[in-house]
Amino acid sequence: MKDYKSTALCALILVGLFGCQQTTNDPKPPELVVNNSADAQISLQLAKQALNSNLAYDIVESLTVEIGPRLAGSDKDLMAVDWAMEKLRSMGFDKVYKESVQVPAWSRGKAEASIVAPFQQPLVITALGGSVATPTNGITAPIVRFDSLAALKLAEPSTVKGKIVFIDHITERHKDGNGYGVTVGGRSKGAVEAAKKGAVAVVIRSIGTNHDRMAHTGVMRYQDDVAKIPAAAMSFPDAELINGMLKRDPNIMMSLKMSSENLGIATSYNVIAEVTGSSKPEELVLIGAHLDSWDEGTGAIDDGAGVAIVTAAAKLIQDLPQKPARTIRVVLYAAEEVGLIGGKSYVKQHADDLEKHYIAAESDFGAGPIYQIDFNVAPASFSQIQHQVSSMTLNGVALGNNKASGGPDVSMMPSLGVPVASLRQDGTDYFDYHHTPNDTLDKIDPKSLAQNVAAYVQFAYMMAQSDVELRPLTQQ
Amino acid sequence: MKDYKSTALCALILVGLFGCQQTTNDPKPPELVVNNSADAQISLQLAKQALNSNLAYDIVESLTVEIGPRLAGSDKDLMAVDWAMEKLRSMGFDKVYKESVQVPAWSRGKAEASIVAPFQQPLVITALGGSVATPTNGITAPIVRFDSLAALKLAEPSTVKGKIVFIDHITERHKDGNGYGVTVGGRSKGAVEAAKKGAVAVVIRSIGTNHDRMAHTGVMRYQDDVAKIPAAAMSFPDAELINGMLKRDPNIMMSLKMSSENLGIATSYNVIAEVTGSSKPEELVLIGAHLDSWDEGTGAIDDGAGVAIVTAAAKLIQDLPQKPARTIRVVLYAAEEVGLIGGKSYVKQHADDLEKHYIAAESDFGAGPIYQIDFNVAPASFSQIQHQVSSMTLNGVALGNNKASGGPDVSMMPSLGVPVASLRQDGTDYFDYHHTPNDTLDKIDPKSLAQNVAAYVQFAYMMAQSDVELRPLTQQ
């Protein structure tokens, strides 16, 4: 991004911190006139501060070092809630509070698997979140392989009955992470579809883009009227290994032993901090992330990064001499990983004041740089709101489309009438680490993290000052 | 390597398979006149066949899929020996046999560790090869951190006594892998040095260049007059995590539980195949690799690749209509990982005929391309033998120095008078995977593997035909 087309862009460059950048995927670059209002100037000043600050990195370092993994409903989850309350209070936000959320608790236990015939080799697997255990002595059964969930659905039950279903669908690498959406159904629905045909367990090729011998966990689902069978993921090399074996012999026996356990319902919390608006304090700009994580890494990119990004952005606004009109509400959601539980709970608890939510956005895609902002607002207002945030282009953020979901924990808001934005991050390597032991602090680039904070602070400030009417949304 | 200087090089290009290449690190490129003898032409034809062949990849795929991990002295080690005997016989070598080797057997067991105070987080560790177990209930003790083995050696015993020593030495990435040599002493000698000062266990930052949450095993040693304390390695992210904790509090308590076990002495085998020489069959060109592996990956790069490279190279010579003068002996060594046991055994068993070994070389550095050939021969013969193999430069192999060790299992040969060569591989990423679960087939590039075979077949053929006297070596 070394070229630029609009001299209007360069007019706004602040003390060398923003380069002259072409906004990628910009729908109309020749016509773009960047917002140069007083508000935009303040937002750029905030972005400049963000780019110069280590605050977000310090926050995610603190969370990952002092707390680390924080599985929803576990003791560590509650420690993370305490950590968040203390951290937010220490930062001097106008309000810091928490709202209880009932979350499903689950224990991973141990997961072991091996091929026992005709070859003998141990495998590297992990239980999928929510899976039941195997019987204590494990399950030993033949493998039946499918290219995808769709192929499993088409299978004759007689070919599946009594076997361990192996869903072998490769996740493709994309900047926007869309390979994940193609394959994740095998993880979430594989156990139900396999059990319907009489399978005794399901193992999937990990929903991930890396080649490490490390498996990717993630939530799976059961259905009340279908038998609950154990579900696990295996690493890329293990999936390749089994394919190598199947080339030699179609009759491969796998042994699987898992001691995971569903522990019922526990209490967790959405943790909330606010920068009180100066003239419309009852109106809200919600910027969120989720506090819970899977349990094998330290929850750095998923979603310590998001926690750090939105918190650091709000803190910059908190410290302004003159607060913006609307209130900035930071929501650190509970139990996103196990089914968007905190997000769903939030919209229920706030059903009566959802109309006061001007716009919402969640950061939950790692720490890669933000390259585009999409909205989901009234179509008539789309170009106006794009213009409002157009100075974000100086931070490398292109102006995108009007089809945003907003992020997992706010994805239910548009259907309830709340406008959302998606600040899209480069997720090229996100699914290398996602839901694995490799989700650790060293996978975060501090400069890229700061670019995220700069984007969020511009977005939040401009939204808190905006006079554009973003409603009503079109039908979802 | 797109440029070239010597037109002599291009005169030898065979049917487009060899590009015009500048030999990197060539000590005297302007003067290089590539050997264009009939023997060199045959060696180039063999190299061309090697570059066109999948044989080496098929061999390493077979070993890693059908056998996989093959820890010295284990049942899988003996299965690997049977696999090798059958594979070599099926390839029609003139002789296939095995020689028994007594090897130390060890069982990894389980290794678990966590930080228990003032923070609580699980760690990813692995036992070092040969380590004793902890007591059944584990060890819980404060950590004392050292930058290196050297720093530990200088420590006051009072600062170490009763603690778990953490040797935190970062391995640097180098093409020739020399970062490993700098840090590996902490792995092999850390337990002895820590125990001398009263430590209860030692954990090291893995000797590896990757950032995966995956620990690197490898052999460690005890000393008869020093207490045997448990020894483990932790992953890069875990070492960073502990450093993050130590920044906050110098008093970090670790819990460590290991059930590894020394199992006494077992029998394994050096597996040998030969292409009988046509006119000097009693003289030998030895090309080796090691058959054993660590137990967490499938032993693809360490040393399935080497097994495949030397076997495939020898097979090309086996299939020639006219065999070269000397015998090519492929030695697949036992128990390299646990202390070069097969290599040491070989020179004892062959003490009486070492003088018949014309030269020896071992492939044990993964599957990265060979970029240089070094020798350890009589100084007076060095330039002659370089000229003999100079057509290897057409395969990207530079002519190097006269300081070769030959590879681990032949490294004891020069001091016994046997000339050796080192075919140096690009090991830039070798220590990302070395001794981890990540040592799997997908880490091998088939093209690079074939380039290795091409280099070995040229080397072996030219050595089997050479009339250069390579002895006596200078004092080691």
pLDDT digits (tens, 9 = 90+) for A298-323: 999 999 999 999 999 999 999 999 99
Residues of B in contact with A122 (CB under 8 A): 68-69
Q: CB count, 10 Å around CB of A172?
A: 13
pLDDT-derived band at A17 (thresholds 50, 70, 90) equals: low
Q: What is the mean pLDDT of residues A253-280?
A: 98
What secondary structure does DSSP assign to B26-84, as a single string?
-S-GGG-----SHHHHHHHHHHHHHHT--HHHHHHHHIIIII----TTSHHHHHHHHHH
Any residues with CB less than 8 A from the CB of B412 and at least 6 apart, and which?
Answer: B340, B343, B344, B347
pLDDT-derived band at A8 (thresholds 50, 70, 90) equals: very low
Q: Residue A125 has which token pair? A: 């697997």
User: Which domains occur in chain A, in start order?
Assistant: 7-105+265-465 (3.40.630.10), 109-259 (3.50.30.30)
Identify the DSSP state of B302: I
Q: Which pLDDT value is given to residue B420?
A: 98
Q: By a Cβ cutoff of 8 Å, what residues of chain B touch chain A?
A: 61, 64-69, 76, 119-122, 124, 211-214, 236-237, 240-241, 244-245, 248, 297-298, 436-438, 440-443
Residues of B in contact with A76 (CB under 8 A): 120
Which residue among B67, B212, B241 sits closest to A438, beta carbon to beta carbon?
Answer: B212
Q: Name the amino acid, one letter, at B293.
A: S
Q: Which of A82, A120, A213, A234 to mutate to test the interface with B (most CBs of B within 10 A)?
A: A213
Which residue among A121, A236, A245 sits closest to B442, beta carbon to beta carbon?
Answer: A236
Q: Which pLDDT value is given to residue B474?
A: 85
Q: Which pLDDT value is given to residue B31?
A: 66
Note if A86 is an active site residue: no
The single residue of B193, B283, B336, B362 carrying the catalytic annotation is B336
Query: Does residue A10 have a pLDDT over 80?
Result: no
Which residue among A213, A297, A440 sits closest to B438, beta carbon to beta carbon?
Answer: A213
CA distance B250 to B244: 10
Any residues with CB less than 8 A from the CB of B172 and at least 6 apart, and which?
Answer: B179, B182, B209
Q: Which pLDDT value is given to residue B475?
A: 57
pLDDT-derived band at A30 (thresholds 50, 70, 90) equals: low
**What backbone torsions phi and psi does residue A282 show, to the nearest 5 degrees?**
-80, -15
pLDDT-derived band at A394 (thresholds 50, 70, 90) equals: very high
**What backbone torsions phi and psi does residue A92 show, to the nearest 5 degrees?**
80, 25
Q: Which pLDDT value is given to residue A311?
A: 99
What's the Cα-to-Cα distance from A473 to each of A384, A404, A462, rounded to whole Å? 15, 12, 20
What's the Cα-to-Cα distance from A230 to each of A91, A123, A133, A156, A191, rounded to whole Å? 44, 16, 6, 21, 7
Q: What is the residue-averaged pLDDT of chain A?
A: 94
Q: Residue B262 has which token pair? A: 């020394």
The residue of chain B with its CA nearest to that of A439 is: B213
Residues of B in contact with A64 (CB under 8 A): 241, 244
- Contact criterion met (CB below 8 Å) for A43 and A462: yes
Query: Does residue A13 have a pLDDT over 70?
Result: no
Q: What is the mean pLDDT of residues A94-114?
A: 98
Low-confidence ranges of chain B (pLDDT < 70): 1-31, 475-476
